[in-house]
Structures are given as structure tokens and as C-alpha cells.
Structure 1
Amino acid sequence: MQPRSPNTAVKFAHQVKHWRLAEDIRAFCAAARQSGAATDWTQWAENYAAAIDSLAAPLGMPPDPPAGQHDLRDYFRGDTYAHPWPFDKDGQWILADDGVDG
């Protein structure tokens, strides 16, 4: 199965990386406790591991990024540069007269 977009695969790899890092931090802290070297620093590290652990929250497919002008050019008839782009920077549709004083 192909990811919906390259962005999906990148985010998945990011989740795996953070999960592994969290596991490594927890293992390090456990070894520090066994050696008697546990400190406030290891407590902070365990809290940090909990914060970055990808499995600490429900997993879900990340949303695709908003389509850009070049992604949609095949769906428009005519010159896409002749008219203003109808989406704002967050990918939300805007009307031509939005934000225009009149």
C-alpha cells in the first residue's frame, strides 16, 4: 500500500524515531536507577520520554498537506496564473472579496 502522500511516510518515520528514542531514554534511566545514579536529571529524562513517545496518544493517519497551485493545475481550465489563487496559506477557500475594504 502506498502512502497517501510523501508527507504521510515522513510523519510515520518521525513517529517511529520518537518512539524508539523514548524507549532508549527509559532504558537509560532504568540502568541509572540500578546503578544508584538516579537524580532529578533522570526524572526529567523520563518525563521527556513520556512527552515524545508516539504511542502515548492515539495514533491516526496524519492529514495530507493542502494542495498547492501546481498540484491542482490539471483540474483547472485555463491559465492558473491569470486569476488569484482561491486558497489562503492554510489551504482554506477564500472568496475574491474577502479582506478587501469596500
Structure 2
Amino acid sequence: MGVKEIIYAVEIWSVKQGKEEEFLKIWTDLANWTKDNEMCNTGAVLLQDLEQKNRFISFGSWKTPACVQAWREQPEFKAAFVKLKELCDEIKLSTMKNVFSIS
């Protein structure tokens, strides 16, 4: 198809009402730890729904699916995820690949 395969870790976060700021701090700390430890990702984005303020979507690009799996198995990720999970009503984790993009 001519599309360079890029792997994405994608998460949908439904944060408990009133816990948004605490969630942002922990998520940002995890993202910074990931960057500082060169976990073979190439960037991360966190989006917040304008109408449903407690709904977030995060995604980051990775070199391989194995990189995503290795990242999620790190003790630092697991510790942060436990804290994030306590702040959320629901979390959906996915590993995806791009199949089409327009610049």
C-alpha cells in the first residue's frame, strides 16, 4: 500500500469526575519517564474531550509491537498504571498500526 507501518499504543481513559488534574500529573510523569528512558517510542499525545472533560485519549508511536509490550511490562509503567487505574472508571488499551494517512 506504500504506507510505512507505524505502531501506536492507544489508550482511552474515562477518568473519575474531579480526578482529572491528578490523572494529568501521573500520565505526564509516565510520559516523561518513557522519553527519558528511550523506550523506543517516537512521541506521545494526550487529548482531552472538550465536552466530556473526564475523557482522554492518549497515543504514541513506537518502532515495533514488541517495544510496546516491553514498555507495558516495565515496573515503572506497571506502578504508574496502578495509580492511573485507581483514578479511572474505565481504561481501554490497544496496540494498533497505521493503514492510511494523509499529510
Question: Do the two structures share a fold, i.e. TM-score over 0.5?
Answer: no
Higher RCO (CA 8 Å, separation ≥ 6 residues) = 2
Q: Larger % of strand: which? A: 2
- The higher radius of gyration belongs to 1
Q: TM-score scaled by structure 1?
A: 0.30
Q: Larger % of helix: which? A: 1
